[in-house]
Chain A
């Protein structure tokens, strides 16, 4: 099973700035990686799949990249509604979520 490690645990960013979230896999994998956003009291929402493909309705300020063991979710021009916990999930070898990164707005 591939274990996913996310960093940082918490990220504080000013509105309009860019947030960069990291997700590291315990072994090299193909691009079978998804990103989800979870706001308090809500279910997770799919943002990105295939490491870089935005899901339907996801704003263009969200972008995913990476390969091998290093993957990144970038949120450009951060808005107040982007305050949430973000999880990566690998579906390359079974399934596993990362521990999450909490994005706070300064």
Chain B
């Protein structure tokens, strides 16, 4: 069925890196951009940016430049979020979400990946 399957929870130490995955199935991967959304514990949703799945071009929201990198492997219909130099403030659930073609709202979400950063 149509779904986005995200990788499992991660526990990392400050300063480490992590790479999360988001595998699409049930639809043509390159027809829809993939967005990333962060949700810190007990907080609201923060849009991090998107990557176009036809060209692999990433766009980052202002607060997510530098340590955050979006990438793709279209051969396996998978998007990735790589976060470097992890800080405690990066502790959050990270969602991938599919954008409706031609628009920037999200009709399909992954279940989220919890990243915990603690020494």
Contacts and interface: CB of A to CB of B under 8 A. Distances in A.
Interface of A: 1, 32, 34, 36, 38, 42-46, 49, 55, 85, 87, 89, 91, 94-100
Contact of B61 (A32, A85, A94): A94
Nearest to A46: B107
Contacts, number: 53
10 contacts: A43-B109, A44-B45, A44-B97, A46-B107, A49-B100, A49-B103, A85-B44, A89-B47, A89-B105, A97-B37
A36 to B, nearest CB: 8
A46 B105 contact: yes
B90 to A, nearest CB: 18
**Size class of B's contact patch?**
20 to 34
Nearest to B4: A43
A102 to B, nearest CB: 11
Sorted from nearest, which 3 A-B pairs have the closest CB atoms? A91-B104, A34-B105, A43-B109
Contacts of A55: 107
B46 A49 contact: no
A1 B35 CA distance: 17
Given A43-B95, A44-B45, A49 B105 contact: yes
A95 B104 contact: yes
B98 to A, nearest CB: 10
A16 B101 CA distance: 36
B106 interface: yes
B110 interface: yes
Given A42-B111, A46-B105, A49-B100, 6 more contacts: A1-B62, A34-B105, A43-B110, A43-B111, A89-B45, A97-B37
A97 B105 contact: no
Contact of A44 (B95, B100, B104): B95
Given A43-B111, A43-B112, A94-B61, A87 B44 contact: yes
A99 B39 CA distance: 11
B45 A97 contact: yes
Contacts of A89: 45, 47, 105
A46 B106 contact: yes
